[in-house]
Structure 1
Amino acid sequence: GFYAPAQLVREARRQGVRVLPVEVGRSDWECTLERSTGAAGPCLRLGLRLVKGLSRGGAERLVQARREAPFSSAGDLSRRAGVHRGELQALAAAGALTCLADDRHRAAWQVMGVRPALPLLADGVREADPPLAPPTEGENIRADYAMLGLSLGRHPLALIRDRLARRRVITAAAVAERRQGSLVRTAGLVLCRQRPASANSVTFVTLEDETGQVNLVVWKQLAARQRRELLQAQLLGVAGEVQREGEVLHLIAKYLWDYSPLLTGLVTHSRDFH
């Protein structure tokens, strides 16, 4: 569809739906509904299909093996589900092995120790994990986006809000409070870029931060002058003029900045010109 999974998940959470992470002990290939203690209604469990590097066949074997008995370790999963090393590494990096290891670092260590099973050693004693520092919040969020295309943690811009504030960048929520004709500076992850045939070469861009979204109007002249920033930035900064038509707010872009280096390794993907 037109909307990326990250957008759909954020909207579901905004509507009060509890979203649960991808987990080899619970997830099917598709996203599913499940009951959870303390939740008023069904929760949405993210599916294994979101994990980059995991094949559908591998996921289906995993689910079938899990129905027979819960997994006790990454090695047990590998042996019973026939999941190869690369797919195990993808599951660990995606945070999907946390039911078998406390965090991504410990999961990755377990996967490193998985060897092809020998009949006499298949149920051998597993060595204890070494003391490993858990991943930081930023590391977890970057790994989420790299491996799943979304995160259930804080929005990435919440982690760099102080650095954006030093550039006089305000939030989407603050933009929404400004009057018609106000000049503002804001920034957000690029969700989509659109250039409808009927729009006379105007480009529409949707930005998102931890407080909401801002819709930009980029006229042809600015688009030509700042083509690189417009088309390549993951984190796009903009100085613009607030335009209101009833309840609808747009920001008429006057100047663009590529703030992507502030994301320090975060990989996001926008939906462009569909």
Structure 2
Amino acid sequence: FFAALLNSQPMGFYAPAQLIQEARRQGVAVAPVDVCRSDWDCTLEAAGDSRKPRLRLGLRMIKGLSRSAVERLLDARRTSGFPAVRDLARRASLGRRDLHCLAAAGALAGLAGNRHQAVWQMMGMEPALPLIGTGVEESAPMLPSPTEGEDIRADYASLGLTLERHPLALLRSRLGQCRVITAAAVRARRHGQLIRTAGIVIGRQRPASAGSVTFVTLEDETGQVNLVVWKRLAERQRAVLLKAQLLGVTGEVQREGAVLHVIARRLWDYSSLLGRLPTRSRDFH
């Protein structure tokens, strides 16, 4: 189900990042994009001793990678595997641009070790790769592995999603200092209780049937929270409402049966905490 949705992108309300988060919350194992294992599409593959298959991300997820380059890569891989980055580049006739896309996405980790090593090996290649050779890499310095934060930023820049921890998990202690609680904690609060929470904005909607009400969906490492922003607050804090990537809210919990939402009383822009993380929301569709 999730593989089909990912292979049909761009479509629907949820971006790939939200689909992956939901899949993992439902217990689906997700494997990273890998030049040695991934096809063009996202696929299912055996997962060791587990009876459940895991979802393998496809090369189609990599921003900027050409379909023709992937077809050459897959043709070469059907003949034999790739012992090294140079062998991959030579046999698939990959140029610098496609190699950089693969390296930045972490898709060369199985051959190079980590993103830093992959980029170093790619940059060290001659502009015109020889047509013959053994495919043996020259010795490379052991570069330090990227930090978790660096990997997450690179994942979002190259794939629009990450298989590392949710970005807000890394910011939880700082958000806690602002008395921000998680989406899971919001779900445990009583009707009418005043709370402060925050999340990455994954959607803003203003349906014609709802008059002047704006609905905002926030996501953190524990789930999602739906906000209701009345017209008066939306006008008073328009810039924060429309531009914040990481949006905080002080509001009142409202419950109607199993449905929970937060009536916003004040909005906060915490986007500076994300640094250069390139998130994307689906707004007013």
Pick the aligned partner of 1:118 from 130, 142, 148.
130
What is the aligned residue count? 273
Taking structure 2 as the reference length, the TM-score comes to: 0.93
> For the residues of structure 2 that align with 1:151 and 1:18, how far apart are their CA atoms?
13
Q: Which moved more, 1:2-11 or 1:94-103?
A: 2-11
Structure 1: unaligned runs, 5 residues or longer: none
Compute the RMSD of aligned alpha carbons: 1.2
One-letter code of the match for 1:246? G
Deviation at 1:237, TM superposition (A): 0.5
Deviation at 1:161, TM superposition (A): 0.5
Counterparts of 1:39-78 in structure 2, within 5 Å, are 39-78=50-89
Pick the aligned partner of 2:259 from 248, 252, 262.
248
Deviation at 1:124, TM superposition (A): 6.8
> For the residues of structure 1 that align with 2:130 and 2:260, how far apart are their CA atoms?
64
> For the residues of structure 2 that align with 1:199 and 1:206, how far apart are their CA atoms?
16
> Any conservation in 1 of the 2:83–2:136 contact (CA below 8 Å)?
no
Moved segments of 4+, more than 4 Å: none
One-letter code of the match for 2:146? P
Fraction of identical pairs, as percent: 66
Structure 2: unaligned runs, 5 residues or longer: 1-10
Pick the aligned partner of 2:175 from 155, 158, 164.
164
Corresponding residue number in structure 2 for 1:202: 213
> For the residues of structure 2 that align with 1:41 and 1:258, how far apart are their CA atoms?
41
One-letter code of the match for 1:126? E
Q: Residue by residue, what CA displacement relative to the aligned partner does 1:131-165 show, whole Å, maximum 9, x if unpaired?
A: 21110011111111111111111010000101001
Name the CA shift for 1:218/1:56 in 2 (closer, same or farther; >3 Å).
Answer: same
> For the residues of structure 2 that align with 1:199 and 1:66, how far apart are their CA atoms?
53
One-letter code of the match for 1:148? L
> For the residues of structure 1 that align with 2:284 and 2:157, how far apart are their CA atoms?
22
> For the residues of structure 2 that align with 1:32 and 1:24, how far apart are their CA atoms?
14
> For the residues of structure 1 that align with 2:25 and 2:182, how far apart are their CA atoms?
17
Corresponding residue number in structure 2 for 1:30: 41
Deviation at 1:119, TM superposition (A): 4.8
> For the residues of structure 1 that align with 2:155 and 2:239, how far apart are their CA atoms?
27
> For the residues of structure 1 that align with 2:105 and 2:77, how far apart are their CA atoms?
19
Deviation at 1:108, TM superposition (A): 0.7
Give the SS at the match of 1:100: helix
Name the CA shift for 1:119/1:12 in 2 (closer, same or farther; >3 Å).
Answer: closer
Corresponding residue number in structure 2 for 1:147: 158
One-letter code of the match for 2:165? R
> Any conservation in 1 of the 2:36–2:82 contact (CA below 8 Å)?
yes
Is 1:10 paired with 2:21?
yes
